Structures are given as C-alpha cells and as structure tokens.
Amino acid sequence: MTQNRNFQIIVVDDDEDAAKTFAELIETKLKIPVISESNPSTVLQIIRQESIKIVVLDQRMPAMNGTELYKEIKKINPYIVALMLTGEADRKEVRYAMSTLGYFDCVEKNDIQILPNKVISALAAYEVGLAKNQNTPIPLYRWNIYKNRLFSKIYEIISVEKLCENYIFDQKWKLKFELSASEEEVEDSYEYEDELIIQDSFEIKTNNLHSFTSKVLPTLKTEINSILSNQQTVTNKRRSKKTERNKRIYKLQDGVEEGKSAVKKIFEYTPIYIQFRILLRKTCRICNHIEIVPMEVYKRVPYVATRVRIYYSDGSKREINTEKIAI
C-alpha cells in the first residue's frame, strides 16, 4: 500500500487486475487518490488506517462476498458509502443489498465506464450524510502550525464504542521470573502507569494518523485519554503510577500434568487494556472540508494478566493463563 496519499476511495475485487483497472479508471477521471485491493482482511485494515469515503465492492468474491464485507466495514466506519459491482450477482442479491444494507447504487461490469460518475454521486451522498449527522460531538479544538502558516481545524469525537474489556497485546508479555529450583520465595511486583495507545502501533506511526502533525497528536491523545477516563471508574483521571507488591512461594511441581515432571517454569505478565473504536470528525474552519477518521484506541486499566509456561522432562511444554491481578 502506498503511504501518505490520503486515499478516499477503495475498489475491491477478488481479481487483482480488475480491481486495479477499475481504480485507475476512477483516479484518471476524477483525479482523486484511489486504492485497489483483493484481500478482505487487508481491506478492513485499510478502512481503519485511511479516511475512506467510498468503497466499490465486487459482490461475488470467494473468501467473503461484497455484502458480508460491507457489514464489517460499517462496523468500523458507518459513514462510508458503498457501490456494488455486479457481474453474476442476481437481482435478489442486488435488491437485498440496496434496501437492507444501504448500498448507494450498483454498477454492472459490462457498463463500467459509468463508474466514475457513480462515484461522484456517492461522494456527494457521503457529504450530505455527514451534514445530516445528528450525533452530539465532543469538541476537541486544535491549532495545527506548519511552515509558519496557521491553519485552523476542529477535531470532534462523534462516536465511542467499547470493543473489549480485557484486551492484551501479545508483544507486551514480560518475564516475571524463571523457576528451576524445587521451590522459591519471590516478591511479585507489578507497576501500573496510565497509558493510552492509538491504533495498534506502539510507535504511534500508523497510516491512519498521517494527517495529524506531531504538534497535534500529543494534545489529541491527552484529550481522548481524559474523555475515556471519565467513562471508566477503574481508571485514574490523571497520569499516575502504582505498584503492587507481595511475596509468594512458588513450587516447581505445582500444577503439572499427572505423570509428568517439570524441569522449569517461566512466569510472565502483561498489561490489560480496554479497547475502543472511535470516530473522529475533522473539520477545516477555512474551507469547511470534513473527514471522518476511524481509529482504535487502547486505554490501560490497573490490572495485569499472568501466565505460566511449564517445561517437562520429556521435552513437552504447556502454557496456562493464570490470574488477573489488580494493582
């Protein structure tokens, strides 16, 4: 995927060459950045990372048909407008998609030259849909300074949806200690620090944030953190650190499978987060241009998950998720 092109339209077809051809047709006619894709999982990733307004979906695809994919897209960003590409799709499928899922229109592949005009109409419908949106936003007013020129933009959260209460990043598991003696007394120590992660990158360098400058992002994170903290009774409103300490005796042969002997245990822990899906509306005060930016946000809570990996004398091993510890 080409980065930093600010894609507004995506064309999806299981035939990669066809998807690319349709995308080039739209981009050539309308001079708007268009991306093509054939893999449904990659499509959903792009929807999360780019400010997509229009999705052009082939209905008949083997992995996931257009109707099923559009349902998943709307969970990420319900404002996206969809056009259906039909070749073999029967009229019953088309009627269902138009009436039930809210497809804007359909285009038959044997009449593909009209696709750019349909996209223009869909873009207009997208803007009208934003204007009619009745959600009460949470205002986040920010100034974006770039090359000594001052541009005014308004950032507003228009939707906050909780996805998961006990989210764990696989990459964040840490070693607590390794036990190879018959038993050992260990001081457990877990530290909690209020933390907010935007998207699934620990570096905060995801494609979806390319429109936020380094001056805007820290303040944006602070405001989102404050808003999410107000919705949670388990999270401090101010940035803070806490540490939980206690002593326990760990025994090598506790919890092993019957008939086996453990030679080593590795104890690990990881932070727990609440996962949110947020829709951010970005409005230019100068030209009134509006973008909807979907993002996934992870708010840390004062708990850690723990697990133990047991290594047996016969060369086998076992992994056990253990307790959730409050800090």
Quickly state the pLDDT bin for 271 (edges 50, 70, 90): very high
pLDDT of residue 215: 61
Domain of 16, in residue numbers: 9-132
Specify whether 57 is located in the same domain as 181: no
The neighbour count for residue 280, using CB atoms within 10 Å, is 23
Specify whether 40 is located in the same domain as 105: yes
Last residue of a domain, one of 99, 132, 165: 132
Specify whether 77 is located in the same domain as 173: no
Specify whether 235 is located in the same domain as 198: yes
Structure-block tokens of residue 177: 């200690």
Per the domain annotation, does 305 fall within a domain? Answer: yes
Per the domain annotation, does 293 fall within a domain? Answer: yes
Q: How many domains does the chain have?
A: 2
The neighbour count for residue 154, using CB atoms within 10 Å, is 16
Per the domain annotation, does 1 fall within a domain? Answer: no
Write phi, then psi, for 75 (nearest 5 degrees). -70, -30
Coil vs helix vs strand at 199? coil
- C-alpha to C-alpha distance for 49 and 224, rounded to whole angstroms: 18
- Non-local CB neighbours of 71 within 8 Å, separated by 6+ positions: 101
Specify whether 72 is located in the same domain as 171: no
What stretch of H or E contains 153? strand 149-167
Specify whether 183 is located in the same domain as 93: no
Lowest pLDDT segment from 26-40, 83-97, 159-173, 256-270: 83-97
Per the domain annotation, does 84 fall within a domain? Answer: yes
Specify whether 302 is located in the same domain as 192: yes
Structure-block tokens of residue 66: 């257009």
Specify whether 286 is located in the same domain as 208: yes
Per the domain annotation, does 145 fall within a domain? Answer: no
Tell which wins on pLDDT, 164 or 129: 164
User: What confidence tens digit (pLDDT) does each residue in 51-102 have?
Assistant: 899 999 998 888 888 889 999 999 888 889 999 988 765 677 777 777 777 8
Q: Any idea what the CATH number is for the domain that residue 124 is in? A: 3.40.50.2300
Last residue of a domain, one of 73, 101, 132: 132
Per the domain annotation, does 142 fall within a domain? Answer: no
User: Strand pairing of 183-193 and 105-108?
Assistant: unpaired
pLDDT of residue 131: 64
pLDDT of residue 65: 86
Among residues 21, 26, 20, the alpha carbon closest in space to that of 8 is found at 26
Specify whether 159 is located in the same domain as 304: yes
Last residue of a domain, one of 100, 132, 164: 132
- Non-local CB neighbours of 187 within 8 Å, separated by 6+ positions: 245, 246, 247
Specify whether 165 is located in the same domain as 106: no
User: What confidence tens digit (pLDDT) does each residue in 96-139 have?
Assistant: 777 777 889 989 888 999 999 999 889 888 877 776 665 556 66
- C-alpha to C-alpha distance for 298 and 162, rounded to whole angstroms: 10
Quickly state the pLDDT bin for 167 (edges 50, 70, 90): very high
Per the domain annotation, does 140 fall within a domain? Answer: no
pLDDT of residue 73: 93
Residue with tokens 């319900």: 78
Structure-block tokens of residue 233: 């009774």
Specify whether 228 is located in the same domain as 182: yes
Specify whether 161 is located in the same domain as 262: yes
Per the domain annotation, does 69 fall within a domain? Answer: yes
The answer to whether 115 and 54 have CB atoms below 8 angstroms apart is: no
